[in-house]
A and B are shown apart, each in its own frame.
Chain A
Amino acid sequence: MSIFRHISTKPWLLDERPANVIHPGLASRTSTTKSGLRLFLGVITALFALLSVAYIENTTLAYWTPLLEPQLLWLNTAVLVLSSLTIQRARNLAAKDLPVQARRLLITSAVLAVAFLFGQMFAWLELLQLGYFASVNASYAFYYLMTALHGLHIFGGITVLVFALDRAYREDNVDTIKRTVQLCATYWHYLLLIWVVLFAMMLMDNGSILDKI
């Protein structure tokens, strides 16, 4: 692997190759933002992984009662999947140099994501009206916590997308749009994946999840 090749070089020996052969030193905006996003997804992964560990540990405790999932969550999941599909389509269109259509689909994705957030809030309301507050049981506490944190990340994604779209309109540059769509699509798919994992954990919470797997 290249990392091992890197760290096994001997920098104290003189290297008479031209400097740009040794390391070109060229980083494009595209590659820095892409790596930045990947690293950020790493941070998010750490966050939700730790939360999941805490969740799984709690399901084994005596006081745990399974969560009564609002059926609305299935619909919300479908909306989020749809949002991911439209953004993927937008990515493909942008790759084919069709920025106008791509932009339109991006807006659709953002609207669907907003719909997902509203759906999540309705699910909250449903449980709250039935008296299932966060304090009722750890399963509900985790449900509110996990959906809130996931929702905040979705909200952040939408905010960035709106700003990026605004800039894409003003600059009207095909490359800007291509880059925006690519980054947003990656983020969208990843948050969908996180949601699916969280939802699956919530569905499997009768007793220890570990037993079920």
Chain B
Amino acid sequence: MVSTNIEDSELDSHGPQTFLTKYVWSQDHKVIAIQYMGTATAIGLVALVLSWFMRLQIGFPDTFDFIDSESYYQYVTMHGMIMVIYLLTAFFLGGFGNYLIPLMVGARDMVFPYLNMLSYWFYLLSVIILASSFFVPGGATGAGWTLYPPQSILEGTPGSDWGIILMLVSLIVFIIAFTMGGLNYVITVLQARTEGMTMMRLPLTIWGIFVATIMGLLAFPALFVGGVMMMFDKVLGTSFFIPAIVSMGESLEYGGGSPLLFQHLFWFFGHPEVYIVALPGFGIVSDLISVHARKNIFGYRQMVWAIVIIGALSFIVWAHHMYVSGMDPAFGFFFAITTLIIALPTAIKVYNWVLTLWRGNIHFTLPMLFAIAFVFTFVVGGLTGLFLGNVVVDVPLSDTYFVVAHFHMVMGVAPVLVVFGAIYHWYPKATGRMMNQTMGHIHFWVTFIGTYLIFFPMHFLGFVGIPRRYFTFDGLDFIPESALTLNAAISIAAFVVGAAQMVFLFNLFWSIRNGKKADGNPWRATSMEWQTPQTPPVHGNWGASLPVVHRWAYDYSLPGVEEDFVPQTIPVAEGEMDER
């Protein structure tokens, strides 16, 4: 019998006991979360290696025979798509969403466990389809992660035969997987909260994941529609996105379609996608900072409202990715304004993180280091976003390394830092052991400083006018020699940062057996996931009866209380009211 979060159970653990049902065809949200994270990490490693290949070519052009212009574009495309969708989206929502939602809201599991299991297997299928595209004739698609037609499906672009078809199929399967998971996350947050857990008592992690999931459910259909229509264009010869076109000297059968339509559909998904990755990161960072500074989060309500407002605004800014596609100046004006307005709620969040740290009892633990590193990186990436949000600044910078620097800082490095911080933070809950500190510090400092060495100089490359996406800069006389030297240095930094991730991976596995033993609540945190009767939590999470929540998730360093934290499950003590 599948347990639901609703009924209390007399048994301590009533989960399936065979290896296959416990760890493979599991409907337990914790197992599914780890499956999601494992798969995302595996395909993420592929994307990491691809970025190395790209840096080999850019840093040391024409040195490596296995990289030609075709394979270079395939690396670029697959790196981008894997990192954004199959790693970050899957990790934050499929991974952390699955692991944390039921634990943090005090539920036994997701409300639709079977659908949740299906969600993972569809995700795995989409990853396998994506990876298989490396091995088909013509190889993976090299159309760029935005897959702009007409080039993505016409001869001349690498992988325009099978690669693009597999990419589209994989995306469609991913979206189906995400929808199944997303329904679970939203309804679990809305309806499966335990007694006393109001929406405003939820930790900000849950708010971030919750709003990001709703955004995903509304934004992914745009990619779905675009993907299916492009598939029609490729397979059935329709012309949704293909205008009358002469290719390789021949007039093609296509005609009458609108390439701009795809761009609108893509970015109607693509921009919210940025925040689908960022919002869970915002939420998690808020909790990491609060726990490790032993202080309640500053401006909880503002933080919630900011998350909701950012989520809503992100649906009306998509065309700022299309300034260079040509548009009515009035539209450009509108989208520039909405884009810049997003800076307001985002700035509120940054101020509140800083104000939470202000006069806090800051512990420089690994999660805290990563959280602070996130704030730094996110501010740098966010500020360059303000440059690019203006049409007149964007147009000259749009196709340069400035944009590469911007989006890697703001939605590449920043969210990945949160992922790391969150793993160091919740690892003891999932395994019962702490991760090794020394390896963790090596990982942190190399990653943090290294990513700045990689991406910060790219801003300058962009100002010099180095075009992005180019396989070679041969014959571009305006590029100074120093820029090429800088590119070589960036590449070396990239190899070192990549190598540091191997330290992290080793630590991840090594610490399962050899890490310092942790008790159920090593960070002395208040939120529900640290109050489970067992660590790691068993199937059903809460033992015989569900916990009851008496307070919000941020009661740290209360006046007149001996301990510097009061878990959400502790009832309000007599006289506590007067103390405050």
Contact = CB atoms under 8 A, between A and B. Distances in A.
Contact of A43 (B5, B217, B229, B256): B217
Contacts of B236: 133-135, 141, 144
Interface in A1-41: 6-12, 14-16, 19-20, 22-29, 31-33, 35-36, 39-40
Interface stretch (B24-32, B153-161, B460-468, B544-552): B544-552
A43 to B, nearest CB: 5
A135 B253 contact: yes
A77 interface: no
Interface string B294-315: 0010001100110010000000
A28 B112 CA distance: 12
Interface stretch (A47-55, A80-88, A170-178): A47-55
A14 B256 contact: no
Contact of A138 (B240, B550, B577): B240
B232 interface: yes
A99 to B, nearest CB: 23
A197 B195 CA distance: 43
B238 A138 contact: yes
Nearest to B218: A46
Given A22-B196, A36-B187, A46-B218, A149 B228 contact: yes
Contacts of A64: 256
A39 B217 contact: yes
Given A19-B549, A23-B195, A42-B217, A134 B187 contact: no
B200 interface: yes
A186 interface: no
Given A7-B305, A36-B183, A138-B238, A46 B221 contact: yes
Given A39-B217, A61-B258, A149-B228, A6 B239 contact: no
B238 A135 contact: yes
B221 A10 contact: no
Contact of A7 (B179, B257, B268, B301): B301
A39 B201 contact: no
Contact of A19 (B179, B195, B305, B308): B195
Question: Max chain A CB contacts within 10 Å: which of B106, B179, B187, B222?
Answer: B187
Contacts of A40: 179, 183
A145 interface: yes
B198 interface: yes
B439 interface: no
B418 to A, nearest CB: 23
Nearest to B229: A145
B186 interface: yes
B546 A25 contact: yes
B45 interface: no
A27 B197 CA distance: 13
Nearest to B576: A14
Contact of A29 (B4, B193, B304): B4
B194 interface: yes
Contacts of A31: 191
Contacts of A27: 5-6, 111, 191-192
Contact of A6 (B186, B199, B300): B199
Contacts of A50: 221-222, 225, 265, 268
Nearest to B244: A63
Contacts of A213: none
Nearest to A24: B195
A42 B197 CA distance: 26
A2 to B, nearest CB: 10
Contact of A25 (B4, B195, B221, B258): B195
Interface in B4-23: 4-6
A10 to B, nearest CB: 7
A3 to B, nearest CB: 9
Nearest to A21: B196
Main secondary structure on B side of the interface with A: loop
Interface in B532-557: 546, 548-552, 554
B221 A47 contact: yes
B194 A25 contact: yes
Question: Max chain A CB contacts within 10 Å: which of B4, B193, B232, B554?
Answer: B232
A129 to B, nearest CB: 17
Contacts of A33: 112
A130 interface: no
A43 B6 contact: no
Question: Max chain A CB contacts within 10 Å: which of B222, B255, B296?
Answer: B222
Contacts of A47: 221, 224-225
B480 interface: no
Nearest to A148: B228
A58 interface: yes
A62 interface: yes
A42 B218 CA distance: 8
Given A47-B221, A50-B225, A50-B268, A25 B577 contact: no
A22 B237 contact: no
A206 interface: no
A27 B549 CA distance: 16
B359 interface: no
Contacts of B191: 27, 31-32, 35
A62 B256 contact: yes
A197 to B, nearest CB: 16
B6 A61 contact: no
A137 interface: yes
Contacts of B190: 35
B197 A23 contact: yes
Interface string B100-114: 000000100001100
B186 A39 contact: yes
11 contacts: A6-B200, A7-B304, A11-B551, A12-B552, A25-B194, A29-B6, A39-B183, A50-B225, A50-B265, A135-B236, A138-B240
- Lowest 10 A-B CB distances belong to which pairs? A63-B256, A19-B196, A25-B195, A141-B238, A11-B552, A135-B237, A27-B191, A47-B221, A46-B221, A11-B200
Interface of A: 6-12, 14-16, 19-20, 22-29, 31-33, 35-36, 39-40, 42-43, 46-47, 50-51, 54, 57-58, 61-64, 133-135, 137-138, 141, 144-145, 149
Interface of B: 4-6, 106, 111-112, 179, 183, 186-187, 190-201, 217-218, 221-222, 224-225, 228-229, 232, 236-240, 253, 255-258, 261, 265, 268, 296, 300-301, 304-305, 308, 546, 548-552, 554, 572, 576-577, 580
